[in-house]
Structures are given as structure tokens and as C-alpha cells.
Amino acid sequence: MTASAGWTIHSIQPILRSLLALALAALALAPLLSANVYVQTLGVSACLFATMAMAFNLVYGYTGLLCFAQVAFLGIGGYTAAILVTRLGWSFWVAAPVGGLLAAIAGLVVAFSSLRLSRHSFGIATLAAALLCTIVARDWVSLTRGSMGIPGLPAPEIHLGSLDIVINNPYRFYGLSLIFAVGAIAFLHRIIHSRIGRIFVSIRENEPLAISQGIDPLRYKLLSVGLSAFVTGLCGALMVFNLTIVDPSILDFYYTETMLIMVVIGGPGHFWSVLVSSLVFSILPELLRFSTDLRLVLYGLLLIAAMLVFPKGIAGLLEKRGTDFWHKRLAAGRGQVS
Amino acid sequence: MSDICLSVRNLSKHYRGVKAVDGVSFDVMRGSITGLIGPNGSGKSTTIDCISGFTSADCGEWRVDGRVLTGTSAHQHSAAGLVRTFQNVRCYESMSVLENLRMAVVAKEGVGLWSAFLGSLRASAADEAARQHGLELLELIGLSAYAEAPSSVLSYGQRKLLSIASTMMSKPRLVILDEPVAGINPTMILRVEDAIRKLNASGVTILLCEHNMDLVMRLCDRIIVLANGQLLASGTVDEIQADKNVLEAYLGPDHMRPTS
């Protein structure tokens, strides 16, 4: 092996990961140590957006399926949990997973019907599903109360023996969101770095080759969509109970757009860079509030700059360093390396 | 068990009236390297696409080691031991060369959500075994120096070698090689030839679809010749070389004898 021709993603990965873990831990603790309600609320938002982005990364980044229905899964999770709690008196802790399950089932139905045709059909079908959910939320008034939404969602409660905790303030809700985000992201990390994750990537990279090696792509695509929809549905449930209301705005295209930005700038199919990107883009709009008039302009300029500097995302830049290193090494060793 | 590894009967595939493959029948003997040749448009690619499950045939039946694969999907063909490579060489570019080989094992074994999540010791042991096997194969085909390199840095010829090594990883019964030396230099052709011999020596039956007649004549035990979607001739290398119709129509006078 030749001497290193410079740092590569592989050579600095352990250091990067350690630094990143420390930074994330510090960032996660900040809202818990702060008495500032604004910081805590921002923390809740960052936790939920990071989880949504990682779930979207699973289906888009790793499996290569551009799914526009993430926002529909968010809405289905939110509305299901809200309706089950307010109309049927279910506990939040049961209603939220049921919301996630219903979102997963919706995802499987859309995916099963469209993926048998092509990836493009999947994109169109998921877009249609998202629009359909918006119409249902707005026009099925007897179920969703239309544009008025379902307000006054009760705070989730925990009863453990003599311990009674009502999650009714931003500090507590941040604690719940943090636990959920860490659990969900750890779950996604486990999946992505397992054999299943490698199969997802193989389907994205070269589906005919994957098929020729024995992979049933439909089965694994459905699995990817189902898992992603389940996690996003759970996010929806948490989101509406944090806001104490669910209305059709949860199905706004803004959420789809934000998830896309987080994943594309981070680097689709990469874990840590998308996590960092999701946190940055959760906090960035708030940091730009110093100028209300120029906020969106600045946000747009930053996005353009990011796309110019990182056309393949942050991870793409690091990956290119790795590939360049190998090209140099092979060029140097040509004639010696067989 | 019969000596026939692949049996194809009355295979037909038409495209809007064009008879791409028209009632083709042939056998591939177990342990052999059988060539599938013919000029462009003779139906070779359609034939291998059909018998590997990538294109649905209009009619016909094919079996691998007696198991009927007609009507099953492409990934089920692989599960039954029929693996193929592609004319346009394919690999997983974001993965390392070694990971590409390990994928062949992962793909063959499949994995359930539960076992993937729990990451059982059995899976870890299987991964380690696949890694060792992959390193051995890379040594065998002369790519061990590239084990940790992303496969995107490999040359076209090296990718062809990698695709053959990938088929070795999954320990198939039958491998269909679709133009394994197309577009690569003479030195690399010899390395690919060596890899094919090693694949065959490991007990794998090979159906070689190729335009390089020198290679076909050197490697193959038997040859199947297609023309206009139909079977023109089938036999040993000597029989095909002696067949005037084949020589005149497809091989030409320069290929009367192997060059080495």
C-alpha cells in the first residue's frame, strides 16, 4: 500500500464521527439546559425535522425512490393520532403508533400499485397521494373538521406508578422529542448499516444487476417505503400534539420541500451529512429572522450557494476526495499494481 | 441426475411481428463451456434475456437442472442457480470492489427485517466468510490491490473481471456471460479468459454469448449458432468449424482453426 496522498473520507471518518457525536450531544443538551422557551421549541422542531429528513433519506437517498408522499404520511400520522385521541379517547401512546402504522399502510398501497410500473410512476403516484390527502383533510369535514382543524389536543401523559408526568410545556416536549428522535434515527441507522441497507443501495445503484443476483426489488422497495412512512407518521403524531392542533397546513408542500433540501444538500444516501444538514436547515430559518424582509431571499441565496459548492451534497464532496485519492494512487502504482 | 444443465425447448419471442427468436431448442451440458454465437440480430441477446427471466418469452420452456423456470421472475432464476452478466458491464459504483463481491452473497441469501435489525451473530459470521471468500477471489483474478477502492475507479476491463468474480461469489449452477470481452484490450481479454476458465474449473456450467470467435473457439466445448432467430447449427468446435453454412455465413475463412 502506498503512502496516503492526502486525507480521505475513510481516513478521517473516525475523527469526524467522534467530533460530530460530541457536537450533536452538546446541541441536544442545549435546550434542556436552557430556560429559554424559544430554544426549546426550536429544539423540538429540529428533532422532528431531523427524523423526517432521515426517514426521507432512507427511501430517496438509499433506495432511490423520489417519494413526494412523505408529507401525506406526516398528515396521516398526525390526523389519525388526533382523531383517535379526541374522538375515541385513546391514549396518545397507542394512537401515535397506530398513526404511524396507518401511514405505513398508505405508503405500501401507493407503492405497491405504482412500483410495479416504474420509478416515474411511483413519483407521480406519491405526488397524487399527497394532493389527495390535502383534499381529504380540507373537504372531509365530518372527519377532519376541514380547514378549522382539530384544536385542543390534550397533552400526552405518562403514568408510571406514583410518577405522573404531563408533557405540557416545551421543556418536557423537547425531552420527549429528543428521546423519539434518538430512538428513530438509531433505528434507521441500524437498518441502513445492515444487510437490508446494502440491498436498498444495490437497488438504487443498479437494479438489473441486483435482480440478476437474486434480489426481489419490489419487496425491498416496499419495505423501504413502509419503514419511512411509519417513522414519518410518528413524527406527524408528535408534531400535532406539540402544536395542540392538527389542520390541513400539516400537508403543506413546505414540508416536502424542506425534507428535499435537507437530504439533497446533505448528500442523498449518506447518514451523518444528512443529519447535520437537517439540523442546520432546521435552525437556519430562525437564525435569519434578524431580517424579516430579506429572510427568504437570504435563505434562497444560501441554498443556491450550497448547490454550487456541493452539487452532490456535503457527502459528495468528501466522496470525491476519496475517489480522487484512489485515482492518484492507481496512477502512481500503474504497472506495479496488477 | 441428467448431464444436461440447461434445457431450452421451442423458445420464441416476437416483437410486433418481428421474430427475434423463433422456436429455438438446445441443451447445455453440465460442466461445459458452451458458446452461443451468431451475427447481430440473430437472437442471441433475446434468447439470454428470456432464459434469465429479464424478458418474458411468448412460448417455450427452459429448465436448469430439471427445474422449470419458465414464467418465473428474474430474481427467482438467480435463486435457482442461473446467474448472468451483462453486455454493458454493471457494478455498484458507490461500493468498494470487495463490497461488490459481498453483495452477491447478500443478494442470494436475502434478509428479513428482524434479523437485519437484531444483527445476529450468524449474519456477522456469514459476512466475515463472504469477505474472506471475496478477498480470495480478488487474489485469483488479480484485483486484490483494489479491494477497498470504490468500484468506480476500475477500468472497463477490470469491471468485466469484477462481474465474473461476482458470479463466482454466489456459487451458481449456470452462468450466462453476455459478451465478456467486448470492448476490452487483448491483454485484458487473456485475463478474462483465465477468469472464465477458473469459474468453469470450480464446477460452474457456462453459456458464453460472444462475438470474439478466437476466444469462443479456445474456450468452448460446444457451440450453438443462431441465425435470424432460429437455430442454425449445434455441435462441438470441430463440427461447427466444419459446417460450411456456419463458416460462410458467420465465421468467415479466418476462423477455420483456433489461433492459439
Average pLDDT score over chain A: 88
The reply to whether residue B103 touches residue A198, judged by beta carbons under 8 angstroms, is yes
Partner residue opposite A337 with nearest CB, options B91, B119, B145: B145
Q: Considering only CB atoms, which chain A residues are within 8 Å of B117?
A: 187, 190-191, 194
pLDDT (tens digit per residue) in B235-251: 999 999 888 888 776 65
Q: Shortest Cα distance from B181 to chain A (angstroms)? A: 18
Q: Is 90 exceeded by the pLDDT of residue B257? A: no
* DSSP structure string for B3-71: SEEEEEEEEEEEETTEEEEEEEEEEEETT-EEEEE--TTSSHHHHHHHHTTSS--SEEEEEETTEE-TT
Q: Considering only CB atoms, which chain B residues are within 8 Å of A187?
A: 117
Mean pLDDT throughout A217-233? 96
Q: Shortest Cα distance from B199 to chain A (angstroms)? A: 16
Q: Kindly report which listed range (A33-37, B34-38, B210-214) carries the lowest average pLDDT score.
A: A33-37
pLDDT (tens digit per residue) in A318-331: 777 777 887 787 77
Q: Considering only CB atoms, which chain A residues are within 8 Å of B116?
A: 190-191, 194-197
Cα–Cα distance measured from residue A239 to residue A41, given in angstroms and rounded to the nearest whole number: 11
Amino acid at residue number B138: L
Q: Is 70 exceeded by the pLDDT of residue B253? A: no
Dihedral sign for Cα B164, B166, B168, B173, please: negative
Domain boundaries, chain B: 4-91+171-255, 93-153
pLDDT at B250: 63
Q: Kindly report which listed range (A132-136, A241-245, A247-251, A329-333) carries the lowest average pLDDT score.
A: A329-333
pLDDT confidence band for A96 (50 / 70 / 90)? very high
Q: Where are the alpha helices (DSSP H) in chain B?
A: 44-51, 74-79, 97-109, 113-118, 121-141, 156-169, 186-201, 213-219, 237-242, 244-246
Q: Is 70 exceeded by the pLDDT of residue B117? A: no
pLDDT (tens digit per residue) in B55-93: 999 999 999 999 999 999 999 999 899 999 998 888 999
Q: How many domains does chain A have?
A: 1
Average pLDDT score over chain B: 88
pLDDT confidence band for B170 (50 / 70 / 90)? confident
The reply to whether residue A202 touches residue B107, judged by beta carbons under 8 angstroms, is yes
Partner residue opposite A194 with nearest CB, options B85, B109, B117: B117
pLDDT confidence band for A218 (50 / 70 / 90)? very high
- Total CB pairs under 8 A between chain A and B: 113
Q: Is 80 exceeded by the pLDDT of residue B167? A: yes
Partner residue opposite A201 with nearest CB, options B94, B143, B150: B94
Strands A157-160 and A163-166: antiparallel
A89 within a domain of the structure (yes/no) = yes
Vertex A114: Cα angle to A111 and A116 (nearest 5): 100
Please report, for residues A209, B7, B176, the alpha-carbon distance to residue B52 in angstroms, rounded to integers and kept in the order given. Answer: 12, 13, 8
Partner residue opposite A326 with nearest CB, options B95, B153, B170: B153
Segments forming the whole domain that contains residue A19: 13-333
Cα–Cα distance measured from residue B60 to residue B80, given in angstroms and rounded to the nearest whole number: 18
Cα–Cα distance measured from residue B117 to residue B130, given in angstroms and rounded to the nearest whole number: 20
The reply to whether residue B75 touches residue A211, judged by beta carbons under 8 angstroms, is yes
Residues of A with CB under 8 A from a CB of B: 10, 187, 190-191, 194-199, 201-202, 205-206, 208-217, 223, 227, 269, 319, 322-323, 326-327, 330, 333, 337-338
pLDDT at A187: 94
Cα–Cα distance measured from residue B183 to residue A300, given in angstroms and rounded to the nearest whole number: 46
The reply to whether residue B113 touches residue A196, judged by beta carbons under 8 angstroms, is yes
Mapped onto helix, strand or coil, the DSSP state of residue A228 is helix
Q: Shortest Cα distance from B93 to chain A (angstroms)? A: 7
pLDDT confidence band for A108 (50 / 70 / 90)? very high
Q: Considering only CB atoms, which chain A residues are within 8 Å of B84?
A: 212
A193 within a domain of the structure (yes/no) = yes
Residues of B with CB under 8 A from a CB of A: 52, 54, 73-75, 78-79, 83-86, 90-95, 99, 102-104, 106-111, 113, 116-117, 119, 123, 127, 142-143, 145-146, 148-150, 152-153, 166, 170
Partner residue opposite A190 with nearest CB, options B52, B92, B117: B117
A3 within a domain of the structure (yes/no) = no
Q: Considering only CB atoms, which chain B residues are within 8 Å of A316?
A: none
pLDDT confidence band for A3 (50 / 70 / 90)? very low
pLDDT (tens digit per residue) in A276-288: 999 998 888 888 7
Q: What b/e sequence results for B44-54 when a residue is b if at least 16 CB atoms lie within 10 Å of its CB, and e otherwise?
A: bbbbbbbbbbb
Mapped onto helix, strand or coil, the DSSP state of residue A68 is coil
Question: Which residue reads 440447461 in cell numbers?
Answer: B6
Cα–Cα distance measured from residue B88 to residue A78, given in angstroms and rounded to the nearest whole number: 47
pLDDT (tens digit per residue) in B202-212: 999 999 999 99
Partner residue opposite A322 with nearest CB, options B85, B111, B150: B150
pLDDT confidence band for A5 (50 / 70 / 90)? very low
pLDDT (tens digit per residue) in B10-21: 999 999 888 999
Q: Shortest Cα distance from B227 to chain A (angstroms)? A: 27
Q: Shortest Cα distance from B2 to chain A (angstroms)? A: 25
Q: Considering only CB atoms, which chain B residues are within 8 Å of A201?
A: 92, 94-95
A29 grid coordinates? 443538551
A329 grid coordinates? 494512487
The reply to whether residue A212 touches residue B52, judged by beta carbons under 8 angstroms, is yes
Let me know if domain B4-91+171-255 sits in CATH 3.90.1150.10: no
Kindly provide the ipTM of the predicted complex, given to two decimals: 0.88
pLDDT (tens digit per residue) in A10-21: 666 777 778 878
Partner residue opposite A323 with nearest CB, options B104, B106, B150: B150
Which contacts qualify for A22-25: CB closer than 8 Å, 24 or more apart? Answer: A24/A275, A24/A279
pLDDT at A18: 80
A6 within a domain of the structure (yes/no) = no
Which of B153, B169, B178 to probe the A interface (max A CBs under 10 A)?
B153
Which of A206, A207, A209, A312 to probe the B interface (max B CBs under 10 A)?
A209
Percent of chain A at pLDDT > 70 equals 94
Q: Shortest Cα distance from B138 to chain A (angstroms)? A: 11
Residue A257's CATH number: 1.10.3470
